[in-house]
Structure 1
């Protein structure tokens, strides 16, 4: 699917000469491959409707297979077939599984390192080092941003980071008069930046792995670090988060502390 889409796009960044050398010009292009964009769209729609990530990804894969078959980009035998001479199964599905072995093994090893760090209590000591006393909203938001940043970098997992500091952020934000929606936005925006910027997070590693698989189609291979540095959306999100903290953009007018109309959190 990805190869067909790359071929249909004509790889414009490489100029005509390079495309011709790679055999991507002329007969190698197929405009029908643009229909494959329906696959990520299906994943997004299912996610938008509140379904789980795994279910949404499977929906996207199923949509990709259906569209590719309907457009004639692949045949059923291309997906999986038996090579009687070699006594083994072959096809796009198995090729995809084999291509994911490296990233799966790396992820398992990475999670082992993260587990060791967590068992050592490093994150717990960092969290306990901050007493959520009442303070000015800007200072409290900076602390929330800082402690959440440490948590997501240590755990390399956004959900684990939110669970680790969520209660502390709730109590500190309440005492500083920061509304629950703004606290949630600060948590969410902070944990959604670093995984797409730093080279030891799964998204940047996957991006690097995807470019490696596209080398045959003229896609330049980039490292995980380069993938993060060249991600303007996440850098912009990080900048907007800090700007909102320092300028108070979107923060309600200060009122009596603790914030009104919200029950006091349990200790």
Structure 2
């Protein structure tokens, strides 16, 4: 094993050989999403097949297992996997408490002009996605209620879908329990609390502008008072669980580590649900209850991440990653150009891999290498990586938030069968805002901070 570590592992195909498993995986992911056969189950199968491809390309097949298993001893991997599992439990505790119906019910009782419905959808999805850490889940929860309502009061359905996706992406980008927030922080060797704190101004500015645009376009496209969704307030007590994401941020700001914070919030979430009667003890202990379902629901993601780290080790052991980093760094003459490369990696990575979370894990080490070389603050790298990846995902025609929105919209009576993502993309204001605000920040240098003097790092 020492010999393996001292010399680069050789692959058939020359310098391109070590990259063939990764290239094949990306191509298959694109084909999978383009044919609507995506999802993590398919991604795991693709990753496994490409890991097997690496075995046949490796010249040292006898030690291939030892080589790839080195990826599983990466200290960051254990933290990522535990964080995913514990965050999955917390997300299920929030969802199964009835908090989603409670939020929609609470907002529906306001009874304002129907022109404000896109704004309401945006805010509701912001709250749900920030609380539960999921963009797809937020869209799936809100769209079936508010999209038909928008159609019934003659609000542009594309505008409503854009508002829902925008709100969902807000939380996916910012929530402490979001997989993208966790991955971006850990891959950039940053504290999660610092990442959330420094990311908030970018997310908030984009959200405020998006909210104003939703009001302007909403009032322009509708007038009058509509009826509220037919929901009751039986789950209103679950709104108390909104203290959990707030507590999580407070604890991390006080110096608690991520795993300890998640365990504390999980335990408190269990207690609150039982005391409030949101979830029964029988349900809590059931296989479909929040604890087991939260863990099991993350298993596919856990398997994918483990396979991905093994494949990344192929690139490390062969020296391919080192050569890529050297090439990219030669292109990066200044901190600005370095950040632009990070921006493009997050954007193109999301399009290639079909989602923000996968892109962040895939390109995280490249981004960290660039920011470390220039001494750019690690939170800055995490925020560019996450903000751009999430913004891009919200605009992709084959991204989950867009696909779910389209599915709901096309099922509404009176919606043209020609309705497509082109009717929605112009109104995903927060997604466009994230891409624009980070691009402006990179070009102007606003918000750029350094961990040490730049001149000592790159001549």
Aligned mate of 2:321, from 109, 120, 123: 123
Map 1:117-156 → 2, pairs under 5 A: 117-129=315-327, 140-149=334-343, 153=349, 156=361
Structure 1 Cα separation of the partners of residues 300 and 382 of structure 2 = 29
Cα root mean square deviation, aligned: 4.6
How many pairs align? 213
Aligned residue number for residue 244 of structure 1: 441
Q: Closer, same or farther in 2 for the Cα pair 1:34/1:96, shift >3 Å?
A: same
Tell me which moved more, 149-158 or 32-41: 149-158
Aligned residue number for residue 207 of structure 2: none
Instruction: Say which SS state the counterpart of residue 456 (structure 2) adopts.
Output: coil
Structure 1 Cα separation of the partners of residues 274 and 384 of structure 2 = 41
Aligned residue number for residue 95 of structure 2: 2
Map 1:10-49 → 2, pairs under 5 A: 10=105, 12-14=145-147, 25=230, 29-49=234-254
Q: Closer, same or farther in 2 for the Cα pair 1:235/1:157, shift >3 Å?
A: farther
Structure 1 Cα separation of the partners of residues 391 and 374 of structure 2 = 24
Higher helix share: 2
Q: Closer, same or farther in 2 for the Cα pair 1:50/1:34, shift >3 Å?
A: same
Aligned residue number for residue 295 of structure 2: 97
Structure 1 Cα separation of the partners of residues 297 and 335 of structure 2 = 42
Instruction: Say if 1:193 and 1:238, in contact at 8 Å, map to a contact too.
Output: yes
Aligned residue number for residue 279 of structure 2: 74
Aligned mate of 1:109, from 307, 310, 313: 307
Compare CA radii of gyration and give the structure with the larger one: 1
Instruction: Say if 2:274 and 2:280, in contact at 8 Å, map to a contact too.
Output: yes
Q: Closer, same or farther in 2 for the Cα pair 1:118/1:150, shift >3 Å?
A: farther
Aligned residue number for residue 189 of structure 1: 383
| Cα distance, 1:15 vs structure 2 | 5.3
Identify unmatched segments of 5+ residues in structure 2.
1-93, 106-141, 150-228, 350-358, 394-398, 409-420
Structure 2 Cα separation of the partners of residues 51 and 250 of structure 1 = 26
Aligned residue number for residue 266 of structure 2: 61
Map 1:159-178 → 2, pairs under 5 A: 160-170=365-375
Instruction: Say if 2:441 and 2:447, in contact at 8 Å, map to a contact too.
Output: yes
Aligned residue number for residue 59 of structure 2: none
Instruction: Say if 1:148 and 1:191, in contact at 8 Å, map to a contact too.
Output: yes
After superposition, the C-alpha distances for 1:110-133 in whole angstroms (9 at most, x for unaligned) are: 333433344444432233235679
After superposition, the C-alpha distances for 1:109-164 in whole angstroms (9 at most, x for unaligned) are: 3333433344444432233235679x9xxx61332113434676577267634542
| Cα distance, 1:14 vs structure 2 | 4.9
Q: Closer, same or farther in 2 for the Cα pair 1:198/1:63, shift >3 Å?
A: farther
Higher relative contact order (CA 8 A, sep 6+): 2
Instruction: Say if 1:155 and 1:161, in contact at 8 Å, map to a contact too.
Output: no
Q: Closer, same or farther in 2 for the Cα pair 1:26/1:231, shift >3 Å?
A: closer
Instruction: Say which SS state the counterpart of residue 433 (structure 2) adopts.
Output: helix
TM-score normalised over the length of structure 1: 0.58
Q: Closer, same or farther in 2 for the Cα pair 1:248/1:102, shift >3 Å?
A: closer
TM-score normalised over the length of structure 2: 0.37
Instruction: Say which SS state the counterpart of residue 277 (structure 2) adopts.
Output: coil
Instruction: Say if 2:284 and 2:290, in contact at 8 Å, map to a contact too.
Output: yes
Aligned residue number for residue 265 of structure 1: 456
Structure 2 Cα separation of the partners of residues 46 and 235 of structure 1 = 32
Instruction: Say if 2:285 and 2:291, in contact at 8 Å, map to a contact too.
Output: yes
Instruction: Say if 2:247 and 2:265, in contact at 8 Å, map to a contact too.
Output: yes
